[in-house]
Structure 1
Amino acid sequence: MNKLNQSLVDTVFSKKIGFARDSVMQGPAYGVDCSVVSITDNLGMVIASDPLSIIPQIGMDASAFLSLQLAANDIATSGLRPQYGQFVLSFPNFVDKGGFEHYCEFIHQYAQKMEIAITGGHTSFVAGNNSTLAGGLTLFAVGEMENILTSTQAEEGDVLLMTKTAGLTATSVLAMVFSNFVNSKLEKEIGKRASFNFWNISVLLEAQTVSMLNKHAKIVTAMHDVTEGGVIGAAYEFAAASNNGICVDTDKILVSMESTAIANVFDLDAKSTIGAGSMLISCKPDKKDIIINQIQRQGIPCTVIGKFLSEQEGKYIISDNREYELQTPSADKYWEVFSKSIENGLS
């Protein structure tokens, strides 16, 4: 499973928008995490959709958490917390009645913790579905329009920050699913720490911190969630969504020791693979220390990794003091690695 590339989004998906309504303030676009619809002059509704997944090797608990959290992270980029959810549950063949009950129970529990009201949806078992995809969900949040952020709002001259560590989701899932293989290659403590990181993929706390800071003055201009393509891919998307250029110093991208080790075992680049749990933030240069300090006070690593440029200056990365063009993100290698590891019988 991979995202649509920029060309298909720009030329097809973002153009086929059905009936045009003036109340849609932000519709489908490349690098944009959520849509925004105005309800009144002062209130807006933020909407984000994601697939639901069931990964048998990590169990119903972790699968439910992953499914709900990834969509919640998209809403969080707006500065709001998700409030309502619609769920389409299309269970694969390997899920029985007991599995269905467990999955729904865990979705319920995590929705309660996140204060998300489940408002409805559709449930079915799908013949012939042997994949890990189990449907989809849409989350909604309502808030003051003037406080809602989207990734389109980053500005030339802004500083680019990142939170936590790169490759967080990919390396933690691989460590959980293929624990025996990982333990045969690395010290057990490394795999253990990487697996534990799975439960740290929420960006709701850093988004809440940004929201509190922006109440006094808008010092954070935009946020973008890191998913397929990792931090480097997300930086490209962020710049594309906001019609800016960008410079990213890859040597400053935070990568934990365990994420680096797991990525190396599976021949992945932690900086360019699924990294949900890390948030990219654009802010004014003279306010970066305030933001970094406030996020770090929550126990969350945060650092400067780049800056936004004019669109004419282009998109590039710096690595070992050399400049390279920042390319449109290609297919995330994680999916190929995961599939081949399953085919090869790794556990």
Structure 2
Amino acid sequence: MKVGKLHPQLLRQLVLARRGAWRREVVVGPAVGEDAAIIDLGGAYLVVHTDPISGSVKLVGRLAVFVSTNDVAVRGVEPMWLSVSIFLPSAAGEGDLDEIARQIDEAAREIGVAVVGGHTEVTTAVTRPVVVATAMGVGRRYVTTGGARPGDYVLMTKYAGQEAASILATDFGEEAVRRGVDKSAVEAAKSFNISVIREALALADFATSMHDPTEGGVAGGLAEIAYASGVSIVVDRGAVLTRPEIEALCRAFGIDPLKTLSSGVLLATVPPNQLDAALNKLRGLGVPHAVIGRVVEKSDYLVDISGEKIHEPYVEDKLFSLF
């Protein structure tokens, strides 16, 4: 099988068809494109999401916190608790564990999340550190990935490919310079904000759907929204936000910024009558944002990005081939 996410067809066939016992309180369970489980507690909703970090080495602890909590936040619910499992190869030293645990602690403190449990072990099953985080939160309402409707506007925050650029700058910085990327661009790419909590919570009352584009990037995230919602999405590639340092790093490694890890980007669909209010919220937060497209009736494609059509809720992310 290919490295990275499973193809949706294989996922549906071998994984999603096997969900254990039916429970009436499960509002949203595992499904292609949906970010987190939603469980009805009776008057409140528990949101739970688990994510592994396997496509980074030096940022693995920090990414574990932000990537998992982002998927709770895009449900419109504040992330509150985190359970983390750390798997270390036998070649790892105490300093490696110390750095990972420090990153987890600092990132969790930044966003007000408590680390409440987990597991740590050294194992021959991995060749580099792998961190698996489960984030949880409780709220009174929720947003799904599958709520987009024809006529909605598509908004994004921050910059396509920013997570991949941070990983390239941190784990492959010297190689990037050898490939012609300016050192200043490499340094600049290390500091992107990869949390969407503020803007996701701010847009929760306006958005019909929200999504955190991780593997497969903005293109993959849009395809997942379209698939989950039963619609198509038309996007102007020129309107998609990115930055020169992201483009330089991605170009050096043959990666499309729109098709690679983009944690920190929020994708949201907003009805026309809520667009101004949503944009005002984002301006008030000072978060870079743009209107990049519209939701349309379901067609023979999921996403049309300036003529490039995506037909499946799956976009191969070339970043993973580097590890």
The answer to whether the Cα contact below 8 Å between 2:65 and 2:108 also exists between their aligned partners in 1 is yes
Partner Cα separation in structure 2 for residue 54 and residue 156 of structure 1: 35
1:25 aligns with 27
1:140 partner letter: M
Q: 1:154 aligns with which of 148, 160, 163?
A: 148
Q: Shift in Å at residue 29 of structure 1?
A: 0.3
Q: 2:139 aligns with which of 129, 139, 143?
A: 143
Return closer, same or farther for 1:8/1:294 CA change in 2, 3 Å cut-off.
Answer: same
2:181 aligns with 186
Q: Shift in Å at residue 54 of structure 1?
A: 8.8
The answer to whether the Cα contact below 8 Å between 2:259 and 2:315 also exists between their aligned partners in 1 is no
Return closer, same or farther for 1:277/1:17 CA change in 2, 3 Å cut-off.
Answer: same
- The 3-state SS of whatever aligns with 2:285 is coil
Partner Cα separation in structure 2 for residue 49 and residue 78 of structure 1: 14
Q: Shift in Å at residue 31 of structure 1?
A: 0.5
2:10 partner letter: L
Q: Which segment is superposed worse, 65-74 or 108-117?
A: 108-117
2:4 aligns with 2
Q: 2:202 aligns with which of 200, 205, 209?
A: 209
Partner Cα separation in structure 2 for residue 259 and residue 8 of structure 1: 32
Q: Shift in Å at residue 224 of structure 1?
A: 0.4
2:262 aligns with 275
Return closer, same or farther for 1:166/1:55 CA change in 2, 3 Å cut-off.
Answer: closer
Listed one character per residue, the Cα deviations across residues 23-57 of structure 1 (whole Å, up to 9, x for unaligned) are 000000000110100011x111000001145954x
Q: Shift in Å at residue 98 of structure 1?
A: 3.7
The answer to whether the Cα contact below 8 Å between 2:227 and 2:302 also exists between their aligned partners in 1 is no
Q: Shift in Å at residue 139 of structure 1?
A: 1.1
Partner Cα separation in structure 2 for residue 324 and residue 105 of structure 1: 42
Q: Shift in Å at residue 242 of structure 1?
A: 1.3
- The 3-state SS of whatever aligns with 1:11 is helix
1:192 partner letter: E
- The 3-state SS of whatever aligns with 1:111 is helix
- 1:186-265 residue pairs with structure 2 within 5 A? 186-197=181-192, 200-211=193-204, 214=205, 219-265=206-252
- The 3-state SS of whatever aligns with 1:9 is helix
The answer to whether the Cα contact below 8 Å between 1:13 and 1:28 also exists between their aligned partners in 2 is no
Q: Shift in Å at residue 177 of structure 1?
A: 1.9
Partner Cα separation in structure 1 for residue 23 and residue 295 of structure 2: 31
Listed one character per residue, the Cα deviations across residues 307-327 of structure 1 (whole Å, up to 9, x for unaligned) are 1122246434142xxx34323
Unpaired segments ≥5 residues, structure 1: 340-347
Listed one character per residue, the Cα deviations across residues 177-236 of structure 1 (whole Å, up to 9, x for unaligned) are 222232341332222211222xx111112112214xx1xxxx211100011111111100
The answer to whether the Cα contact below 8 Å between 1:54 and 1:132 also exists between their aligned partners in 2 is no
The answer to whether the Cα contact below 8 Å between 2:77 and 2:142 also exists between their aligned partners in 1 is yes
TM-score normalised according to structure 2 size: 0.92
Return closer, same or farther for 1:87/1:318 CA change in 2, 3 Å cut-off.
Answer: closer
Partner Cα separation in structure 2 for residue 260 and residue 64 of structure 1: 25
Partner Cα separation in structure 1 for residue 241 and residue 103 of structure 2: 31
The answer to whether the Cα contact below 8 Å between 1:250 and 1:317 also exists between their aligned partners in 2 is no
- The 3-state SS of whatever aligns with 1:17 is coil
2:161 aligns with 167
1:343 aligns with none
Q: Quote the sequence identity (%).
A: 29
1:342 aligns with none
1:94 aligns with 91
Partner Cα separation in structure 1 for residue 207 and residue 125 of structure 2: 47
Q: Shift in Å at residue 332 of structure 1?
A: 0.9
Return closer, same or farther for 1:53/1:332 CA change in 2, 3 Å cut-off.
Answer: closer
- 1:23-62 residue pairs with structure 2 within 5 A? 23-40=25-42, 42-53=43-54, 55-56=56-57, 58=58, 62=59
Whether 2:124 is the aligned partner of 1:127: answer yes
Q: Shift in Å at residue 241 of structure 1?
A: 1.0
Q: Aligned residues, how many?
A: 319
Consecutive aligned runs of 4 or more in structure 1 exceeding 6 Å deviation: none
Unpaired segments ≥5 residues, structure 2: none
Listed one character per residue, the Cα deviations across residues 80-117 of structure 1 (whole Å, up to 9, x for unaligned) are 12111222222222322343234223322322332222
- The 3-state SS of whatever aligns with 1:297 is helix
